[in-house]
Every structure is written in C-alpha cells, then in structure tokens.
C-alpha cells in the first residue's frame, strides 16, 4: 500500500472517528451539580456502604430502564436515590451516561448528606433519611444563550413551540420533543410524577424561560421535578434533532416522543459515510495492486 493510500485511509478514519466521538459524548456533558453543605459523619462506614450499594443498584438498572428509584441501608443510615435518562436515549446510551455519575458525584460533592449531578442526557440524586424535602417547582439551574434572535416574530414562534411541547409532554406521559419553524424544544418530567403535576411543572419552567431568556436563541431550565430546553437554528433544525426539519415557512411539526431516537439519523449518515470510505479504499487498493502487477510484466 503506497503512502498516498495510507494517508487517505488515515484521513478518512480520523474524520469518521471524530464525528462518532462528538455525537456519542454530547449527552455526557456536565450541566450542573447540587451538593449538600452537610457531610455525613461515618465512623463505622455504614453510610459509605449504603451509598455504594445504592450507586450499584442504580447503575445496574440503567441497562433496562430510563428511570429507577431505590433505597438502601436501614434505619438512620438508609439512603434513597434515583436516576433518570433523557427519553430519546437508547438503553446503551442511558447506561453509558448513568455509569459516569457515581464517580462524578464523589468527585464534585464528596460524601455529603445529599447530592444531585445533572448531565445533558441523565441525572442521579441521593439523600440520607430525613433530608429536608423541597418543592418540585424549585428551580435548580437556568441558562440562556448569549446570542439574541434577529428580527421580529421569534418569541411568538418559540412560544407556539412551547405550547405544543407542553401538551405533548402530558399526552406522552413524561417526555416530548418537537421541532417547529427552525426551533427545537424538549421537555421531560421525573419518572414518578403524574401527568397533571408534570404539566404544571413544565408550564412553570416554560414561563421562566419566556420571561428570563427573552429573545435568546437557546435556553435550559431545570426545576426539581422537570426540565425544558430550546434551541433556534436559523438554517433549519439539524438532522440529529429531526429527521425532517420543519420548514421555516410552514407551521408543520416534526415530533419525537419517548419511543423515538433523533440520534438514529446521525448514525445512519455516519454509517453511510463509513461505507463509502471503505469502498473508496478498496478500489484504490485494487488499483495499487494492478499497477504493481503491470510493472512486473
């Protein structure tokens, strides 16, 4: 195999590898952490044992389900925790996301009486027995993009998308994502929240985004029991979010409730690119062999 062929193979391999890594790692990005200021006193190691058992139980369940709640330990040393994955993640992606959280929790919070770590694709929380409860509407984290949308009509389009998403989350029982006129919006409630409370939580988060983010082209609002996010794409919603991006001149919606995975489009595209690259390499390799054969004749 000549040097040009080796260089081409390496170039194509690096491109495909970097694209696959980018698409796979996005959901493991840290969003925020919440740590109790009170460390637990653990002279006999009972809290540490309970926490370790809890983490093990949660991680093992993440291969089977996207929401799980468990309690370990006994008496005053018992701990309750849960994890939840975003509704559009596959089981393998859910596990890959959740399995990172115990180490991150220990690194970011240490051994405290309660902790919550949120990644883009999943979150995990735990608390010791007797830890003070907070309202499901309590805001935990909010961010608004630094760029504002140009021109008029953006907020009206965003609010229309929000309205459809609010109804969709309730009818889909906890998770819904949709694209509308270059906007992509998503909402999800914690797995054990009923439809009525879920709707109220999402509505509260939407109101915060509308007021506090204004004309910002993106935003995320995390309440204790739900979250919403939105992003505006002037050139149309990319394929990884919607297999058929909504036209900016029409009112049609493209939705992806919890049974669907928008990331499949990326996998198909990258798989096709890998196939084309393989064919090109095979043809060049055959051509190289033919030249060597002709040179020997």
Domain positions in the chain: 3-128, 139-262
Q: Does residue 89 contact residue 121 with C-beta atoms inside 8 Å?
A: yes
Tell me how crowded residue 139 is: count the other CB atoms within 10 A of its CB.
14
Fold for domain 3-128? Killer Toxin P4; Chain A (3.30.430)
What are the pLDDT digits (tens) for 247-288?
222 233 333 343 333 333 333 333 444 454 444 445 555 565
Instruction: Compute the chain's Rg from CA coordinates.
Output: 24
3-128 and 139-262 share one fold: yes
- Its pTM stands at 0.73
CA of 10: how far to CAs of 14, 155, 277, 285, in Å?
Answer: 6, 46, 11, 14
Q: What does the alpha-carbon distance between residue 85 and residue 194 come to, in Å, rounded to a whole number? A: 17
What was the pLDDT predicted at 289? 52
Fold for domain 139-262? Killer Toxin P4; Chain A (3.30.430)
Average pLDDT, 10 consecutive residues per value, the chain (297 residues): 44 37 66 91 87 96 97 88 96 96 96 94 92 80 91 88 95 93 94 95 96 94 96 83 36 35 34 46 54 51
Task: Please report how many Cα atoms fall inside a 13 Å half-sphere around the Cα of residue 165, on the Cβ side.
Answer: 30
């Amino acid at each position: 195999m000549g040097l040009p062929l080796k260089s081409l193979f390496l170039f194509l391999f690096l491109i495909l590898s970097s694209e696959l890594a980018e698409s796979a790692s996005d959901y493991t990005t840290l969003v925020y952490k919440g740590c109790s200021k009170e460390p637990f006193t653990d002279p006999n190691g009972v809290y540490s044992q309970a926490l370790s058992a809890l983490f093990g139980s949660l991680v093992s369940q993440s291969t089977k389900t996207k929401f799980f709640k468990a309690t370990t330990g006994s008496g005053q040393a018992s701990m309750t925790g849960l994890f939840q994955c975003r509704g559009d993640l596959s089981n393998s992606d859910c596990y890959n996301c959740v399995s990172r959280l115990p180490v991150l929790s220990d690194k970011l919070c240490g051994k405290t009486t309660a902790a919550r770590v949120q990644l883009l694709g999943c979150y995990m929380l735990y608390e010791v027995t007797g830890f003070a409860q907070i309202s499901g509407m309590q805001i935990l984290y909010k961010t608004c993009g630094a760029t504002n949308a140009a021109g008029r009509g953006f907020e009206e389009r965003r609010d229309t998308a929000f309205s459809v998403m609010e109804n969709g989350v309730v009818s889909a029982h906890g998770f819904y994502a949709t694209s509308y006129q270059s906007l992509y919006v998503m909402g999800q409630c914690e797995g054990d929240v009923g439809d009525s409370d879920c709707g109220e939580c999402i509505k509260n988060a939407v109101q915060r985004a509308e007021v506090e983010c204004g004309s910002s082209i993106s935003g995320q609002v995390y309440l204790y029991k739900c979250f919403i996010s939105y992003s505006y794409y002037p050139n149309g919603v990319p394929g990884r979010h919607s297999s058929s991006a909504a036209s900016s001149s029409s009112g049609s919606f493209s939705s992806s409730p919890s049974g669907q995975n928008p990331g499949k489009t990326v996998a198909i595209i990258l798989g096709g690119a890998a196939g084309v690259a393989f064919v090109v390499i095979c043809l060049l390799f055959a051509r190289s062999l033919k030249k060597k054969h002709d040179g020997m004749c």
